[in-house]
A and B are shown apart, each in its own frame.
Chain A
Amino acid sequence: MKDVNSPIISLKDIYTAYEGAEFPVISGLSLEIGHGEFVIVGGPNGAGKTTLLESVNGMLPLTHGTAHVCGMDVSRNGDAVRKKTGYVIQSFAFDPFTPFTVENVVMMGRYGILGCFKKPGEEDYRATEESIKLLGLEDISEKPIGTLSGGQQQKVLIAQNLAKKPDLLLLDEPFSNLDLCTREFVSDILKDISSKGCTVLMVSHAFDALPDKDVRIVVMDRGCINFDEFCHATEVKDIVRKMSAVA
């Protein structure tokens, strides 16, 4: 049973550094996020936003501090955390002839939950189909992902993570390749899954299609949080601009 009273993300004084780097990218950051919250992370380039996401799901190791996500210690149970956490990556470039169809890629979201030696079952196929339908990818589900446009590929990666039915969804610049209409469409999907209890933690520089609701805005600079408040989606752009300028 998930304990909705305890935070889904609890970071205490964490530091994260890349191998070979002289200084940590994240320094002494603490953050608590509750179940079902919709959090937008803003800030200038190099502030540590992507690093924050990858520290939360354990893809980058912490050098100091503790991180608990979905009730688990990230440093000890990184794989288990990632099974409950979706992560839509920022940069991707697929070979035009990469031998994976849209359906193959969306199904991959289920592989971690399934575990080794198990074949996808009825539930996995259903979740994949639902996710493809939700993102409106039915017509291209048999096409190789490499032949799609950047925006369509981004939608496929979002569908892949939704097929996992995650407790927490991390998104790194999910709107960067999308046109305005598609941004609004994806934004509505994120609003919907958030209202159903999935926590959304999204790094973004595009604030023109945020869901029409109150969101939490976290502004980062040089590996630290310098603003953390709730506001309406329409205020996010001004707050991020102001706080980034102050920094």
Chain B
Amino acid sequence: MLEFLIPNNIVCHAVEAMLFASIACSILGVIITQLKISSIGFTMAHAAFAGAACGMFFGFDPRISAVAVSIMIALLIGPLTDLAKMPEDTVLGVLFGMLMAVAVFFIAYMQYVGKGFNANSLLFGDVISLYREEIYALVIISFMAVIFVVLLYKEISAIIFNKKVAEAAGIKVKPIYYALLFMIAFTVALSLNIVGGLLLYVWLITPAAIAYQFMFDVKGLFIMAPVVAAVISVSSAVVGLEYSLPVGPLTAVVFSVVFIIAVIFSRKRKVTSRKH
């Protein structure tokens, strides 16, 4: 897609992957940080991990079983939170423990019976060795996430503000909230084995956290977070590939540095010196 700008195929694929995945994840990240459910990222990563381990054990394609288990967990989060009458983060913590246990169980058992299991690509991804199909998949996932947020912007912003106020306004809070959790989990699950857990966690939290330092309205957050994510991700990918540095960790470090700078220069920490 961007070959006309970047002739080198490897660099081009890496930049495309970083661009599309960072935009989708950072937009969803605004919702995640505002709803205070940041543990959805690592819970879904471990759903994919457990699914891959199950698939390997039972002789299925681990990528398909990773996505299948992730979708099942994504469907479960909303109703389980309601049934348990507990905060989302608590339910996500319970699911995280369960999924990690399932993954560790199958990995340990496979090692015991002499089968190998390599979770590296799932956990860390590899943006410099992506196929064209994987880039297209990322474009579709990103597009779906963006369309979802644009179409339901009103309802999502009301739910972020206050679920009770949203319900009193006549919004169908429960189905939209379930769909929202599903969309976040679905995007994380499908992007995970393409870009890896490390970059996903960073994109889901840090761009929204940086934007939050400067923006006082939710529309501003939804605009600034993907812009910040795209600029940092693409420039880190280009620099990393130019100087043969690991792209994922480099991007994560740059995001953290920008976050610290944002906190220092935040408009929200400013105290007026005016007397009148």
Contacts and interface: CB of A to CB of B under 8 A. Distances in A.
Interface in A103-136: 104-105, 108-109, 111-114, 116-117, 119-120
A111 B169 contact: yes
Nearest to B162: A92
Given A97-B268, A101-B216, A104-B217, A59 B157 contact: no
A82 to B, nearest CB: 4
20 contacts: A19-B85, A80-B170, A82-B170, A89-B165, A92-B162, A98-B161, A104-B157, A104-B218, A108-B157, A108-B158, A109-B169, A111-B155, A111-B166, A111-B170, A112-B171, A114-B154, A116-B151, A116-B155, A144-B217, A164-B169
A15 interface: no
Given A89-B165, A104-B157, A116-B152, A79 B218 contact: no
A157 B155 CA distance: 17
A175 B171 CA distance: 26
A100 interface: yes
A97 B155 contact: no
A77 to B, nearest CB: 11
A87 interface: yes
Interface string A66-103: 00000000000001101100110100101001111100
Given A97-B212, A157-B165, A112 B221 contact: no
Interface string A29-72: 00000000000000000000000000001010000000000000
Contacts of A111: 154-155, 158, 166, 169-171
B152 A100 contact: no
Nearest to B220: A99
Contact of A79 (B34, B165, B170, B221): B170
Interface residues of B, number: 27
B3 interface: no
Nearest to A110: B169
Interface residues on A, range: 35 or more
B168 interface: yes
Contacts, number: 81
Interface in B209-231: 212, 215-218, 220-221
A146 to B, nearest CB: 9
Contact of A117 (B34, B151, B164, B221): B151
A100 B218 contact: yes
B115 interface: no
10 residue pairs, one from A and one from B, having the closest CB atoms: A112-B170, A83-B170, A87-B168, A82-B170, A112-B169, A99-B218, A111-B154, A144-B216, A108-B158, A112-B171
Contact of A89 (B151, B168, B170, B217): B168
B170 A113 contact: yes
A105 B160 CA distance: 11
Contacts of B85: 19-20
A57 B168 contact: yes
B36 to A, nearest CB: 10
B87 to A, nearest CB: 16
A79 B174 CA distance: 11
Nearest to B153: A119
Contacts of B155: 111, 116
Contacts of A20: 85
Q: Which of B154, B165, B169, B217 has the most CB of A within 10 A?
A: B169
Given A99-B34, A114-B154, A108 B166 contact: yes
B244 to A, nearest CB: 40
B216 A82 contact: no
A102 B167 CA distance: 19
Contacts of B212: 97, 99
Nearest to A96: B268
B217 A79 contact: no
B132 interface: no
A161 B166 CA distance: 11
B91 to A, nearest CB: 16
Interface string B193-219: 000000000000000000010011110
A120 B34 CA distance: 23
B161 A108 contact: yes
A215 B147 CA distance: 50
Nearest to A86: B168
Contacts of A100: 157, 161, 217-218
Interface string B31-45: 000100000000000
A99 B221 contact: yes
Contacts of B221: 99
